[in-house]
Amino acid sequence: MASASSYEKSLGAGVVELEHPMLKVTFELVSQLFRTSQRSLEKELQQVSDAILALASPSGAASSSSSSSLNPAAIEATLDDLLVRVREIKAKVLLSILSPGTENDSN
């Protein structure tokens, strides 16, 4: 009975030795995928943020020079486009949460 116990211990130690490298590789792949997705998300959100700032910043300076840049229809269209982009980003995030590892970056 003592030999079976030592056999089980050595078998358990062998399994742990095999599991560690396999888990490490899996963790590194998941970590790399997460970092790539995170950078892509930050890039897209920064583009949206820059577009919003571009809409907000020229309003003070442009009001005295030209009224065409303050066209409400153009501003509304731009905001609608930005809203569509934010919804697309949200859909990508939800898709990556629900099915990790199957995300395709088109950028």
Per-residue model confidence as pLDDT tens digits over 45-65: 999 999 989 888 765 444 444
Residue 87: HSE in the Cβ half-sphere, 13 Å Cα cutoff: 6
Q: Dump pLDDT digits (tens) for 71-95.
A: 889 889 999 999 999 999 999 888 8
Average pLDDT over residues 33-39: 90
Q: Could you tell me which residue, 71 or 21, shows the higher pLDDT?
A: 71
Is residue 39 in a domain? yes
Structural domain span for residue 45: 2-98
Q: Give the count of domains, the chain.
A: 1
Is residue 22 in a domain? yes
Is residue 41 in a domain? yes
Is residue 105 in a domain? no
Is residue 75 in a domain? yes
Is residue 106 in a domain? no
Is residue 104 in a domain? no
